[in-house]
Amino acid sequence: MTPLSIPDLPLGARVHDPFLVLEVDPRGGDNPFTVLILGNATGRIQTAPFWASDTPRIAGITRGKVVHVTGTIRPYREQRQVAVDSIRILPPGEVAWPGLMPSVGDVSRYWNDIDNWRSQLRSPRLGSTMALFYDDPEFRAHYQQCPASTSGHHAQLGGLLKHTWEVAQIALATARLFESADPDLTLAGALLHDIGKLDSYRWDGAFEPTVPGTVLGHVVLGSLLLDRRVRSERPMPCTEEELLLLQHLILSHHGKLEFGAPVPPLTLEAEILHYADNASAKVASMVSALQDSSNFLQDAPISTKGIWQLDRRRAWRGQSDWGRPGGNAG
């Protein structure tokens, strides 16, 4: 089912749709009220105030619940809000999640590429080790849904798969430039580096870190997952030294201790993986920052302030068509 397109709702439009509750925001001074921030895969909108006397109408509504809302779009200080006529919590069984959360959309192109690259691996034991995960239907079902972060880069359903696909491509492009790099091992690193995120986030509602994700971290969780999975096979699909190479790729991919890598990259492929991971994550964050119109005052070319996801840098929407016929800038 295609979700309602929130950014396209005109003033006066009627809504009669499910929304994910993104925030429950109590506000106001002497005359307190509550505003809900509602969203789906296409965007977000806030409700008109629920006054103290309306409290019973929103009883039990918390962040991460899905509600069915009937109401009207009204203007509010150069923005729009939805004046709610009726609102009720949808039972989990009735929720169609895919339309409600930000999503990368169709993931088949990512799977196609990844499976194709795997099929070209020239290293039998490496292929078998990857297959422990990437031929496992349950792994695939989870992996293609998991976000790559809760509020940073690729914070979307399927974001982890998309990020993996980007990292693999940048890493392979880099490995091909250096004769002594092993492209098969580089690909394996891309495929494994973030598997610990499967245990680190929940995406059944709002994206949230899990307890293990917070207290062990996705880097170590990935290492534990790999260790358990490889050792559960008899015989192991790879040797102990080969396992060490793979573990090192996972554990070093954050590049430096202060960024959460227990060890820095010490092999060529680990170094390549680290920069590819960084490039995917940081460039994706820049894409988001530039597309988020709330960072910019109307048509201003420079963002109004430093942006959190860019380590407090500003962003510049500078571009040109360079004289291209039908170019993308004037």
Q: Is 120 exposed, middle or buried (0-12, 13-18, 19+ CB in 10 A)?
A: exposed
Q: How far apart are CA 41 and CA 103, in angstroms?
A: 6
Asked whether the beta carbons of 328 and 319 are under 8 A apart, the reply is: yes
* Residue 73 in contact with a second copy, rule: CB under 8 A: no
Instruction: State the nearest-atom distance from the C-beta of 179 to a second copy, in Å.
Output: 8
Q: Which of 28, 85, 131, 233 binds a second copy (CB under 8 A)?
A: 28
- Give the x-and-dash track for 299-318 against a second copy (CB under 8 A): --xx----------xxxxxx
Closest by Cα among 174, 177, 184 to 118: 184
Tokens of 36: 């809900």
Q: Which of 31, 108, 116, 119 binds a second copy (CB under 8 A)?
A: 31
Handedness of CA 110, 112, 117, 121 (dihedral sign): positive
Q: Which stretch binds a second copy (CB under 8 A): 12-20, 94-102, 152-160, 178-186?
A: 178-186
Instruction: State the nearest-atom distance from the C-beta of 49 to a second copy, in Å.
Output: 5
Among positions 81-120, residues that touch a second copy (CB under 8 A) are none
Asked whether the beta carbons of 295 and 308 are under 8 A apart, the reply is: no
Q: How far apart are CA 67 and CA 70, in angstroms?
A: 10
* Residue 7 in contact with a second copy, rule: CB under 8 A: no
Among positions 203-222, residues that touch a second copy (CB under 8 A) are 209, 211-212, 214-217, 219-220
Q: Which of 108, 119, 180, 294 binds a second copy (CB under 8 A)?
A: 180
Asked whether the beta carbons of 243 and 251 are under 8 A apart, the reply is: no
CA distances, 290 to each of 91, 110, 154, 303, 304 (Å): 37, 24, 14, 8, 12
Asked, as a colleague might, if the bond just before 235 is cis with ω within 30 of 0, I would say yes
Q: Which of 7, 92, 105, 327 binds a second copy (CB under 8 A)?
A: 327
Instruction: State the nearest-atom distance from the C-beta of 192 to a second copy, in Å.
Output: 14
Q: Which stretch binds a second copy (CB under 8 A): 15-23, 27-35, 137-145, 148-156?
A: 27-35
Asked whether the beta carbons of 284 and 163 are under 8 A apart, the reply is: yes
| 206 DSSP 8-state letter | S
- Give the x-and-dash track for 222-261 against a second copy (CB under 8 A): -xx--xx--x------xx-xx-xx-xx--x-----xxxxx
Q: Which amino acid is at 330?
A: G
* Residue 328 in contact with a second copy, rule: CB under 8 A: yes
Asked whether the beta carbons of 200 and 166 are under 8 A apart, the reply is: no
Q: Which of 189, 276, 295, 309 binds a second copy (CB under 8 A)?
A: 276
Q: How far apart are CA 202 and CA 261, in angstroms?
A: 23
Give the three-class secondary structure for 18.
strand
# binding residues, a second copy (CB under 8 A): 94
5 vs 316, beta carbon nearer a second copy = 316
Q: Which stretch binds a second copy (CB under 8 A): 31-39, 64-72, 86-94, 102-110?
A: 31-39
Q: Which of 118, 146, 182, 191 binds a second copy (CB under 8 A)?
A: 182
14 vs 231, beta carbon nearer a second copy = 231
Q: Which stretch binds a second copy (CB under 8 A): 15-23, 101-109, 143-151, 265-273?
A: 265-273
